[in-house]
Amino acid sequence: MGDCKSVISMLEGEENLIAAAQHLVQALETNKNLTNDTRKILADLGTQLSSMSKVKESKDEEGFGEIEERLNVVQDKVMNWEADQSMIWDSGPEEAYEYVKAVDEIRKLTESLESLRLSKDSEENELLRRAHDVLQTAMARLEEEFRHLLVQNRQPFEPERMSFRSNEEDVVDEGSIVSFGDDSVEEVIQRDSMSRSSEEFIIDLVQSDVIPELKCITHLMFDSNYDQECCQAFISVRKDALDDCIFILEVEKLSIEDVLKMEWSTLNTKIRRWMRAMKIFVRVYLASEKWLSDQIFGELDSVSSACFVEASKASMLLFLNFGEAIAIGPHQPEKLFRILDMYEVLADLTPDIDALYNNEIGSYVRTECQDVLRRLGDCVKATFLEFQNAVASNISSNPFAAGGIHHLTRYVMNYLRTLMDYSDSLNVALKDQDREEPPKSVSPDMSPVDDEDSTSGRFSCCFSPMALHFRSLISILECNLEDKAKLYKDDSLRHLFLMNNIHYMAEKVKGSELRTILGDDWIRKHIGKFQQLAMNYERATWSSILSLLKDEGIQHHGSNSFSKSLLKERLQNFYLAFEEVYKSQTGWLVADSQLREDLRISTSLKVIQAYRTFVGRHLNHISDKHIKYSADDLENFLLDFFEGAPRSLHNCHWK
């Protein structure tokens, strides 16, 4: 074939030379001044040139004849394969090789004919049209074979074999955590157990032994200027494969409207499924998809990227649209943890996505990913602020039973403790983008402090956005608890309620990562708070009762003698007051066993010591029948306090 093309080129050059020479001879013959000898020489030259032209025409006919003969042979082969309905590559490597050889031959013949710049009406141009028709038929068949190879050799995708997939059934469902009054907040929201930095897997999406055949077809179609048809075939097949992958991963194609209408329990399940599917889809499936595209179009880098982007873009946007729908949904506090989970998954995958869509063709996907990540971050901040508002507006019309730890306190502290798992993400999401000045230094209770007011100098520096928001929220909680305490008519119970809740807050901070946010100074201050409240409780409860055990008012004027009747009355009033306290405060609750024990001991030291001293001092003036309880009795009675089960001592009889 190469020799034929060379001959054609040479003939074309000779034709131009002969024509020029003949034109020159004709011009010279018209010159009247030529001698007879000169005219004879020109005539001989004209004859020779005419003879050379005939030789050229003969050779030209032989060149086109060879092309036509070759075209006929290849056309017969191609049309014979067209008549056979079976797939060529299914017939074995020899058959496939013969077909590739034939198609390459028709491609070269077409290129040779195109290079001659034939006139449209010539017989030779009809030969070119025939060659184009045969080539088009062959390219259509190659496209069909290309699709067939891709489809028939697809490898099954089995995400359950991925090591970082966690079973949905193993995850504790927080769907029931819907309000501050839910007792289950003590076990607030368990995080999914999936790894946050999983190994990237590359798997064979198509059997590896057909990759050379696919590359061969690709090169042949590209060389024949059928690159668009080849790319579209690849994109179409891989789009279907990506759809199947999404189906296997159990990700539904939901519109934003569909997501916004969903109940939280349903949406919660879909978010967890989205997180697992997203990691598998990006790190395994898309990474493998990119690798497949590079294998087939590897020598054509821009083509490989374009095919990958076009094939995967719709599927990738399906995942991102779900994230966007969550971000623009209602800012309900119970959703915050799931939104943070989504934020962290997408933030973790962003470098992978940037690497997959790393050029101008993939810039749209990269931009969409960044936009959704930003919107999820905005949603995190808005949801946290909504949580603050919910805490501030949580109003009670009745005092909390038994003065125990309020559901709001439990919920808020467990909520914050769980948020510590997301500290990095929260610091990014809660950052005030509009703040140019560093936040003013504040004390643990959010009041401004001077640098010299801090013993450690810790509060003179700026807090992280997360620390500022946590401190603000806890201050709001404390204000709310103060308002709830005002609902109690009994001052003692008011102090006990605040003591219980402040103690609970301090213990939660001490025993968790919250300590790193709020600091030891905050803990010391709140320990001092609940200790002061315990003292306030004791004074409110026992001061008036213990005053009955003082000598003032029972001595005879001007002597050291005592009025027995007044002593008896004092004891009776003490016993009555103690019984009333016993009846009410056995029904009060101090949930923390150590705090309950400390409060009993402190009370016992004051009450029992005062009682024992009073009775001992006046033992000679008081009849045994007037002593209703011994000091040991009272001490045992104090052990019943703060158990949350009201009791009565009225069934006891005088001795």
pLDDT in tens, 509-538: 998 899 998 989 999 999 999 999 999 999
Task: Pick the more confident residue, 11 or 150.
Answer: 150
Task: Pick the more confident residue, 167 or 495.
Answer: 495
Task: Pick the more confident residue, 565 or 9.
Answer: 565
| Averaged pLDDT for residues 115-130 | 66
Give the pLDDT score at 6: 40
State the pLDDT confidence band at 443, using cuts at 50, 70 and 90.
very low
- Residue 172 pLDDT greater than 50, yes or no: no
Per the CB < 8 A criterion, the answer to whether 521 and 458 are in contact is yes
In the chain, how many domains are there? 4
Give the pLDDT score at 474: 95
In angstroms and rounded to an integer, the radius of gyration of the C-alpha atoms of the chain is 47
Q: What is the mean pLDDT of the chain?
A: 80
> CA-based angle 649:652:655, to the nearest 5?
140
Provide the CATH number for the domain around residue 14. Answer: 1.20.1050
Distance CA 499, CA 510 (A): 16
Domain enclosing residue 128, as ranges? 2-152
- Residue 616 pLDDT greater than 70, yes or no: yes
- Residue 171 pLDDT greater than 50, yes or no: no
Task: Pick the more confident residue, 651 or 102.
Answer: 102
Give the pLDDT score at 63: 58
In a shared domain, residues 223 and 337: yes
Q: For residue 50, tell me if it sits in a domain.
A: yes
- Residue 429 pLDDT greater than 60, yes or no: yes
In a shared domain, residues 360 and 442: no
In a shared domain, residues 537 and 558: no
Q: For residue 188, tell me if it sits in a domain.
A: no
Q: What is the 3-state secondary structure (H, E, C) of 420-471?
A: HHHHHHHHHHCCCCCCCCCCCCECCCCCECCHHHCCCCHHHCCCCHHHHHHH
Q: For residue 236, tell me if it sits in a domain.
A: yes
Give the pLDDT score at 288: 94
- Residue 634 pLDDT greater than 50, yes or no: yes
Distance CA 121, CA 138 (A): 26
| Averaged pLDDT for residues 370-376 | 96
Distance CA 276, CA 192 (A): 9
Out of 513, 541, 569, pick the residue that ends a domain. Answer: 541
Lowest mean pLDDT segment, chosen from 66-80, 290-304, 537-551, 586-600? 66-80
- Residue 160 pLDDT greater than 60, yes or no: yes
Task: Pick the more confident residue, 109 or 269.
Answer: 269
Q: Point out which residues pair with 562 in neighbouring strands.
A: 555
Give the pLDDT score at 47: 63
Report the C-alpha dihedral over residues 202, 203, 206, 209, rounded to 10 degrees. Answer: 90
Give the pLDDT score at 173: 40
Q: For residue 189, tell me if it sits in a domain.
A: no
Q: For residue 186, tell me if it sits in a domain.
A: no
Give the pLDDT score at 490: 93
pLDDT, tens only, 290-341: 999 999 998 776 899 999 999 999 999 999 999 999 999 899 998 999 999 9
- Residue 257 pLDDT greater than 80, yes or no: yes
pLDDT, tens only, 569-579: 889 999 999 99
Give the pLDDT score at 285: 94
State the pLDDT confidence band at 447, using cuts at 50, 70 and 90.
very low
Q: For residue 393, tell me if it sits in a domain.
A: no
In a shared domain, residues 90 and 9: yes
Which of 536, 534, 508 lies closest to 522, judged by CA? 508
Give the pLDDT score at 448: 40
| Averaged pLDDT for residues 587-601 | 94
Give the pLDDT score at 39: 60
Provide the CATH number for the domain around residue 372. Answer: 1.20.1280.170
Q: For residue 604, tell me if it sits in a domain.
A: yes
Distance CA 459, CA 363 (A): 44
How far CA 430 is from CA of 328, 381, 465, 547, in Å, comes to: 17, 5, 6, 55
In a shared domain, residues 507 and 417: yes
In a shared domain, residues 518 and 571: no
- Residue 503 pLDDT greater than 70, yes or no: yes
- Residue 135 pLDDT greater than 80, yes or no: yes
In a shared domain, residues 253 and 340: yes
In a shared domain, residues 99 and 215: no
In a shared domain, residues 567 and 530: no
| Averaged pLDDT for residues 586-596 | 94
In a shared domain, residues 513 and 554: no
Out of 541, 562, 593, pick the residue that ends a domain. Answer: 541
Distance CA 561, CA 521 (A): 54
Distance CA 249, CA 574 (A): 74
Q: What are phi and psi of 561, to 5 degrees?
A: -85, 155
In a shared domain, residues 493 and 588: no
pLDDT, tens only, 5-20: 343 344 344 445 545 5
pTM for the complete prediction?
0.76
In a shared domain, residues 613 and 568: yes
Out of 152, 183, 212, pick the residue that ends a domain. Answer: 152
pLDDT, tens only, 179-236: 555 444 444 444 444 443 444 588 899 999 999 999 999 999 999 999 999 999 999 9
Q: For residue 327, tell me if it sits in a domain.
A: yes
Distance CA 570, CA 562 (A): 12
